[in-house]
Structure 1
Amino acid sequence: MTEQTFKAGDKVTHAVFGDGEVKFGPFRGMFSADDGTGDHYTVAFTAGSMARRAGSVRGGSLTLRPEFEIGACVLFNEERSKVVAGPFTDKYAPSHPWYVLEDEDGNHETSAARFLTLAPADEPTELKIGGRARVLVDGPHLAGLHVGDVVEVTGVEAGSDNEPDSVDVYHNGTTWYVDASQLEALPDEPSGYCVISGVRYDLSAEYRDKDDDMWQFSPEQQADDGTPAGKMRGWSTFDSGCSLRYVLDTYGPLTRVTT
Structure 2
Amino acid sequence: MTEFKAGDKVNHRAYGAGEITYGPFRGAFIETAYLTRFGNGRERVVNVEALTAFPAFAVGDEADYFPGAVFSYPGTRVRLVAGPFKSEHHDTAIWVVEKANGTHMTPTENALRKVDEPAPDTYTHGGVTYDLTASYRDTDGDVWKFKRFDTGVRGEYGYYNWDDVSRYSPLMSSVVDNHGPLERVDN
Scaled by the length of structure 1, the TM-score of the pair is 0.29
Would you tell me which structure has more strand in proportion to its own residues? 1
- Larger-Rg structure: 1
Scaled by the length of structure 2, the TM-score of the pair is 0.38
